[in-house]
Structure 1
């Protein structure tokens, strides 16, 4: 969003400067449960960033989010016979996509009961319920045995977890030696790295999505080291994902026009976007972006 517009709208929702902390698992689950129908509708099934080639790319949300799913699947490099864990599975589209493309078994987890139920329906509709399953579980305390997965992925879910290092430690525990993890995450960029007020405002915006403050990309070296993982690569994809929020805003407008109302959480997000010149926003240096992180457990 434009710098001044973001300052004005964020302050309207948070007059006093209070610490912004990451939500707990039960809060996240309740948030996604009560906003399930709206989020499912506007995201078109994939609840994460989209990937566009540039301003002239007219791909819809479903196509763009599937592109990012495919990039992560390609990075995982798994095939038939592999067992893969999806952290923050949404309604199951990425897990089903992975199984369709690779033949791998996929287990998805989420703290949203409604998402997990819908994800099971997604797998059944695709005829893949025998190799794709879902369950309610907290990524901070995974209910799986040590070394029980060949790969793990997380599409846009890390920000909803209280402690990224703890999550990655759990990932390292359930990964088999040599197993790979690929994730996407939101990070601070540009002016937000030096401007505490700007970083705080972005944390306020994240809180409206029941997410913690965006992290700094360079911290992933420490996250992985503490977890016992080896960081392989980190790619900034902001120039491709920065169109996501304008698409979400359009989706919320369309949903409100069709249904006449929005849940309070979604109405707040829509209000924060009112008056934003999205073309201007897309042309500016982005203070919040996205990265793809690839790491593995040593042998």
Structure 2
């Protein structure tokens, strides 16, 4: 695993998303995670591609009506509400961002599922739930914002029942031999987003074992998600050029990849990848 002295701090992560998510969701298809496109000819909107990734992850859980699902790092509630609506499950979402919790609960009310979908402020590394409270759990990119992935996975493992499935996405280092300058640039981008150091596919065997979980699947989905950055940063840059944006967004854009670099990432194999991880708590 790549190491870095700069680790995200939960309260700072919360403050960052309090300030930015109302704007960022406008350019991330209503969610706060990557999109999934089937290939270069897929003309799906960002909203469709983000929903597709939500559905892919949620389908790994196999949730049924009445099941209890935990959404770790709920963003502004779109994935959680969508998952509950598609599966009939009861869902509890958490976020370190008070603003995200407020918006998410408003969404559940607006979409008529507040009787079985609720959101609350909590730290993924210290979940306020009893052991075995949930049948399944998922974490769409949220584990990248905790300073200790193993501690978060231990907490998730504690609050799900034996036999439960845990599905998540994480950011990976696909170019471990990169030179020091490139690694420093990637670290700066990660710091602007308050994310933890990148992992590799092999790290999840260690993470799962330490958390008392079994690995079901670790799949690199980068060739489906690689279109995200160009389709996010481009419109956000254009918006910021003509509108006032939070200082946190200005900082993100100041060190973001150039349009040429973003185009190369969409057409090639990015250094930073996305892993789809499925884990299971032993029965």
- CA shift, 1:277, in A, is 4.4
Pick one of 75, 78, 98 that aligns with 1:93.
78
Residue 203 of structure 1 aligns to a residue whose secondary structure is: helix
Residue 236 of structure 2 aligns to a residue whose secondary structure is: helix
Deviations 1:16-66 (CA, angstroms, capped at 9, x unpaired): xx9542211101000001113211222232110100112222211111100
Deviations 1:219-273 (CA, angstroms, capped at 9, x unpaired): 0100000000001111110000011111111231343255x22222212322333
Distance in 2 (alpha carbons) for counterparts of 1:19 and 1:96: 35
Deviations 1:163-197 (CA, angstroms, capped at 9, x unpaired): 000000001100100001000011001xx212352
What count of residue pairs does the alignment treat as equivalent?
Answer: 279
Tell me whether 1:251 sits opposite 2:235 in the alignment. Answer: yes
List aligned pairs for 1:175-254, cutoff 5 A. 175-189=160-174, 192-195=175-178, 197=180, 198-254=182-238
Residue 194 of structure 1 aligns to a residue whose secondary structure is: coil
Distance in 2 (alpha carbons) for counterparts of 1:207 and 1:178: 36
> In the alignment, is the contact (CA less than 8 A) between 1:87 and 1:139 conserved in 2?
yes
Residue 276 of structure 1 aligns to a residue whose secondary structure is: helix
TM-score, scaled to structure 2: 0.94
Deviates more, 1:20-29 or 1:118-127: 20-29
Aligned-residue RMSD, C-alpha: 1.6
Structure 1: gaps spanning 5 or more residues: 1-17
Q: Would you identify which runs of 4 or more consecutive aligned residues in structure 1 move more than 6 Å? A: none
In structure 1, the residue matched to 2:251 is 268
Pick one of 34, 38, 42 that aligns with 1:57.
42
In structure 1, the residue matched to 2:17 is 32
Pick one of 54, 59, 65 that aligns with 1:74.
59
TM-score, scaled to structure 1: 0.89
> In the alignment, is the contact (CA less than 8 A) between 2:171 and 2:199 conserved in 1?
yes
Residue 273 of structure 1 aligns to a residue whose secondary structure is: coil
Distance in 2 (alpha carbons) for counterparts of 1:261 and 1:184: 32
Distance in 2 (alpha carbons) for counterparts of 1:25 and 1:110: 10
